[in-house]
Amino acid sequence: MSEQRTSRYVAKKIMVFSTKGGAGKSFLAVNLAIDLCRQSRKIVTLFDMDYKSADDAAILDINPQKTIHDIAQNINNLNYELLDNVLIPHFSGIRFLAAPINSMEAEYIDTESTIKVIDMLSEICDYIVIDTPAFFSDNVISLLEKVNYLCIVMTMDILSIKNLKESLFILKQLRFPRNKILLILNRANSKVGLTISEVENRIMGKIDITIPSDRLVPLSINEGMPIVIKAPKSQVSQSINRLTQLLI
């Protein structure tokens, strides 16, 4: 990659965060990255920063031969060629930077290395979708000042609502701008004794995007075929389309 080429890019960075595990964070991150690529027709990289889970690779049906761990092992020699050799092209058009397959390798990837990788990706991409762990790790906190949008995924249950309120308080303490936060309610049509209005009243804020439950979601994951490709006209895909439009 030439310097002339890289000078064209200053990536928009979108972090996908959740209030607790199992909210659908990785599912959304994968499908959002693909939808961004399709709608914008620009260069999109999905970065699985949830180093101890590596769910994105499973959702994409990819068995990575190289991961962020390979970069971290050579971080002092990081250049465009090394980064390009680790990025995995996906048939959807996105490029994928995988989390370690062995979760123990996560211990050898420090925050400084993560930031260096993000900074270099920013020079060769238009969009970076960052799938985070479901808590305020050092990586998450350190990258907040660099991200353009923070998409927070929650579900229709009291624990998720409680954790979201705590997360919003922490973000306020960290002086993260509220206008950069998008709230996504996953499985919003679940019959669990709560309405969307009640959720909004509890968090004292508006939900930006609702995503319904649909049996196509687990089917798409089991098949390794992201839902925005498998069922682009489904209500789930249409919800992701609306989120994409807010981010482009």
**How big is the CA angle at 112 (ends 108 and 113), to the nearest 5 degrees?**
55
Q: Please indicate whether residue 78 or residue 2 has the higher confidence score (pLDDT).
A: 78
pLDDT of residue 1: 41
Quick: pLDDT tens for 107-159: 999 999 999 999 999 999 999 999 999 999 999 999 999 999 999 999 999 99
Task: Give the residue-averaged pLDDT of 41-65.
Answer: 96
Domain ranges of the chain: 3-247
At 5, is the pLDDT very low, low, confident or very high (cuts 50, 70, 90)?
very low
Query: What contacts 164, CB < 8 A, 6 or more positions away?
Result: 19, 152, 154, 183, 203
Nearest to 24, CA basis, from 239, 202, 245, 242: 239
At 2, is the pLDDT very low, low, confident or very high (cuts 50, 70, 90)?
very low
Question: Is residue 220 within 8 Å of residue 190, measured between CB atoms?
Answer: no
pLDDT of residue 41: 96
Quick: pLDDT tens for 212-234: 999 999 999 999 999 999 999 99
**Does residue 7 surpass a pLDDT of 60?**
no
Question: Is residue 134 within 8 Å of residue 32, measured between CB atoms?
Answer: no
Q: How many residues does the chain have?
A: 248
**Does residue 8 surpass a pLDDT of 70?**
no
Query: Taking all residues of the chain, what is their mean pLDDT, rounded to a whole number?
Result: 93
Nearest to 28, CA basis, from 185, 240, 183: 240
Task: Give the residue-averaged pLDDT of 172-180.
Answer: 96
Q: What number does CATH give the domain 3-247?
A: 3.40.50.300
- For strands 88-89 and 44-48, give the pairing: unpaired
Q: Considering the entire predicted model, what is its pTM? A: 0.94
At 191, is the pLDDT very low, low, confident or very high (cuts 50, 70, 90)?
confident
Question: Is residue 13 within 8 Å of residue 121, measured between CB atoms?
Answer: no
At 241, is the pLDDT very low, low, confident or very high (cuts 50, 70, 90)?
very high
pLDDT of residue 123: 94
